[in-house]
């Protein structure tokens, strides 16, 4: 079994991948100071883990804590995925590809695989990210917007009269307490932004674009958004699964190829050995016998008349196949075939 882990700014989401696919994802809130206590609680009973694939946007300290814990628990070092220039049919639009957030990169890979239209992925976490990938796999770029929690904390932290009284949180168009007013206002601010983005992109792509929403705040926003926005809560984990499957394929190919090579080598050695044994066991040929055989061959050759040569048949020349044009032979603009 393989453990897939999505470490965000606020939560850690994870799932197990086995021969039947991905299990239902689970999550826990991430403590800012560390995650080892949370890992003990969530993963202590997990067994038979063979590999770990991680998307981490929480920094080096969290990555080190995760690696230490998995080394002690399973003697495994996690594989931390990074954004690339091109993989799984997706071409990264960033000038410095590795600086695209790995969560955004994996979402693009996952969304691209079944795409008949351009795809817009709206990830509503601590920050809200928007990315677009065409049906051919070309990332078009994106944007980053403050998330709901950042908007709320900004209001609370920068205004003396406002407090974060979460007990009074309620969504009402016209709120009757301060925190509900903050909650409603931030929801409207975010949904209005998303709706405007959707409207502009529909116009740009002549309505040939599909919208996907994910992230921790997606469920709170969905009731306020139009019906043509699709909710994919595990899109990052599904992107990680492509890397896990790829490594499984590589391993199986190596295992399959090695025995074949060993069999071929053994067959060659066995053939050489047999030939050597035969040559050593054969009796030495006598010189007179060789001379006699040569004389008989020469005389029989001289006595037999040579048969008349048959005229050669002229073969019809086949027309050569038309050579591929330069564009057909190599089109570097096309993405790799999607897996």
Positions marked catalytic: 103
Alpha-carbon separation of residue 49 from 17, 66, 129, 150, 309 (angstroms): 10, 15, 32, 36, 75
Backbone φ, ψ for residue 99 (5° rounding): -90, -5
Alpha-carbon separation of residue 104 from 36, 205, 243, 317 (angstroms): 25, 21, 15, 57
The structure tokens listed for 299 are 């005389």
The structure tokens listed for 296 are 């008989």
Rounded distance, CA 29 to CA 153, Å? 18
Nearest to 98 by CA among 123, 119, 80, 120: 80
- Tell me the pairing of strands 26-29 and 118-124: unpaired
User: 223: burial class by Cβ within 10 Å (0-12, 13-18, 19+)?
Assistant: exposed
Backbone φ, ψ for residue 172 (5° rounding): -140, 140
Asked if residue 147 lies in contact with residue 217, where contact means CB atoms within 8 angstroms, the answer is yes
* Vertex 121: Cα angle to 135 and 110 (nearest 5): 60
């Amino acid at each position: 079994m393989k453990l897939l882990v999505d470490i965000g700014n606020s939560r850690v989401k994870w799932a197990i991948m086995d021969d039947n696919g991905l299990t239902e994802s689970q999550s826990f809130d991430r403590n800012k100071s560390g995650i080892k206590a949370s890992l003990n609680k969530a993963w202590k009973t997990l067994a038979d883990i063979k590999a770990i694939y991680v998307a981490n946007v929480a920094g080096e300290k969290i990555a080190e804590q995760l690696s230490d814990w998995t080394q002690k628990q399973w003697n495994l070092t996690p594989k931390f995925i990074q954004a690339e220039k091109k993989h799984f049919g997706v071409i990264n639009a960033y000038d410095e590809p590795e600086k695209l957030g790995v969560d955004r990169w994996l979402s693009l890979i996952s969304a691209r695989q079944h795409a008949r239209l351009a795809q817009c992925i709206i990830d509503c976490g601590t920050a809200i990210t928007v990315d677009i990938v065409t049906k051919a796999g070309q990332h078009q770029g994106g944007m980053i917007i403050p998330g709901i929690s950042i908007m709320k904390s900004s209001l609370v932290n920068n205004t003396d009269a406002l407090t974060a009284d979460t007990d009074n949180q309620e969504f009402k168009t016209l709120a009757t307490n301060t925190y509900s007013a903050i909650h409603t206002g931030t929801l409207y601010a975010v949904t209005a932004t998303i709706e405007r983005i959707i409207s502009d992109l529909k116009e740009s792509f002549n309505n040939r674009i599909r919208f996907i929403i994910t992230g921790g705040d997606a469920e709170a926003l969905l009731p306020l958004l139009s019906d043509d926005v699709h909710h994919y809560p595990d899109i990052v984990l599904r992107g990680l699964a492509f890397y896990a499957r790829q490594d499984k394929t590589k391993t199986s190919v190596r295992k399959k190829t090695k025995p074949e090579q060993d069999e071929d080598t053994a067959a060659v050695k066995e053939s050489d050995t047999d030939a050597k044994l035969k040559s050593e066991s054969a009796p030495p040929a006598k010189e007179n016998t060789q001379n006699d055989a040569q004389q008989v061959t020469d005389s029989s050759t001289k006595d037999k008349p040579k048969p008349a040569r048959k005229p050669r048949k002229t073969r019809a020349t086949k027309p050569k196949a038309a050579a591929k044009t330069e564009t057909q032979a190599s089109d570097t603009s096309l993405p790799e075939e999607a897996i």
